[in-house]
Chain A
């Protein structure tokens, strides 16, 4: 069916062993029809990426597990609502996860408390404690290299927004830059990331 065209949706930059983009839409379609085995496979392929990101944002293992469970239940419930026109299946899944993680930290505590906590827990870096498959590390290194090429402000703005869960106004305050500048640096940083990594969101 529709899934055939997704087989071509790997990024064209020689990215190693990433067949996630090809498999995920098929597994989502299966889930939409109530196929629990397809969903289990989807979970196994993506949970380290989803849970790790959520953990980095909420900074608490019990809460990260709760949020991750909510994410997967939403994905199961809404699997038929995935719209390829809005982006890839991976991007859709991560968007749901990131929104839920950010909602959790924003409702959980005031911005000032999070600011203190962010400063004190910056060095924890849960991902460093986990040994993952070699290709996952290669991918991570590739992204980190691109992040290092950004300007300090661009990199900090991206990380505060994505992993810190801060709004662009809060990012501006934290970095002592005007709101308009934060907005621009976030956009420029993401564009640089997109173009350097050769992120391919084209579905056709």
Chain B
């Protein structure tokens, strides 16, 4: 889906009228589109008004059941930080939906684009298994950052020596250029994690391996097609501390 098509889904999203993959794709888009977020907020308030037409007294017993149950449940603490542990169920579920949406988009694109992508799809099972190992690892964490007009999220596991880059709305690089992902140590030395280009919808899904133990941050640069051994000076457009 293009970002224009996604923006038209605000109403359906506010009514929970999207299927799981659409919802995940839309939520990824929401993170990058302030106008959409504002519209969703107001439309969700409007949707809530509909419930004024369906008021019904809850069974008496329900009150006792609910108030009896909360005694044994501890309210969660507030959460707000950049590097987020992925152990929490909700965060993990969100990541899965995002990855599912990214895979879905890439698979759909493969259906249209032909043989090379078809070969990629054949390898997708192994890739899915590897992505699973990152998301399911005990130390999985993620960081987010802006990449040109889009956004990227890197999920990484230092124990698994793997990371997954998920990008949305990433613009196509100029002709003859490619994006390159780097692991950068505290001294500034960079090691390539591979090159990528977004699909027609600006989606990116990259799986990379490497020893992340000594890595201070991940970088994304724009390089000549074929990639570079070291980032071209001034070419890094995004950095995310891990």
Contacts and interface: CB of A to CB of B under 8 A. Distances in A.
B187 interface: no
B119 interface: no
B42 interface: yes
Contact of A186 (B11, B42, B57): B11
Interface in B45-81: 45-59, 61-63, 65-67, 69-71, 73-79
Nearest to A103: B16
Given A55-B56, A143-B52, A65 B15 contact: no
Contacts of A136: 52, 55
A194 B42 CA distance: 7
A143 B49 CA distance: 7
Given A52-B54, A126-B54, A190-B11, A201 B42 contact: yes
Nearest to A106: B19
B57 A48 contact: yes
B9 interface: yes
Interface in A90-145: 90-91, 94-95, 98-99, 102, 126-127, 129-130, 132, 136, 139-140, 142-144
A49 interface: yes
Interface in B140-198: none
A189 B11 contact: yes
Given A90-B48, A194-B46, A183 B12 contact: yes
A95 B76 contact: no
Contact of B12 (A44, A72, A81, A168): A168
Given A39-B67, A39-B70, A187-B10, A55 B54 contact: yes
A101 to B, nearest CB: 9
A127 B53 contact: yes
Interface in B1-25: 8-12, 14-19, 22
A127 B58 contact: no
B41 A73 contact: no
B44 interface: yes
A49 B52 contact: yes
Contacts of B16: 95, 98-99, 102, 161, 165
A65 B57 CA distance: 11
A191 to B, nearest CB: 7
Contacts of A127: 53-56
Nearest to B79: A81
A1 interface: no
B58 A65 contact: yes
Contacts of A32: 75, 78
A73 B12 contact: no
A77 B52 CA distance: 25
Interface in A74-95: 76-81, 86-88, 90-91, 94-95
Contact of B71 (A36, A79, A200): A36
A33 B94 CA distance: 26
Contacts of B62: 47, 51, 65, 68-69
Nearest to B37: A86
A40 B42 CA distance: 28
B109 interface: no
16 contacts: A50-B58, A51-B58, A56-B56, A65-B61, A65-B62, A76-B70, A76-B75, A77-B73, A94-B48, A95-B44, A132-B55, A136-B52, A163-B50, A169-B19, A183-B12, A201-B41
Interface of B: 8-12, 14-19, 22, 41-59, 61-63, 65-67, 69-71, 73-79
User: What are the nearest 4 A-B pairs in CB distance?
Assistant: A187-B11, A52-B56, A194-B46, A51-B58
Given A143-B49, A161-B15, 18 more contacts: A52-B55, A56-B54, A65-B61, A73-B66, A87-B41, A88-B45, A94-B48, A127-B55, A139-B52, A142-B52, A159-B50, A166-B17, A168-B9, A171-B17, A197-B46, A197-B49, A199-B42, A201-B41
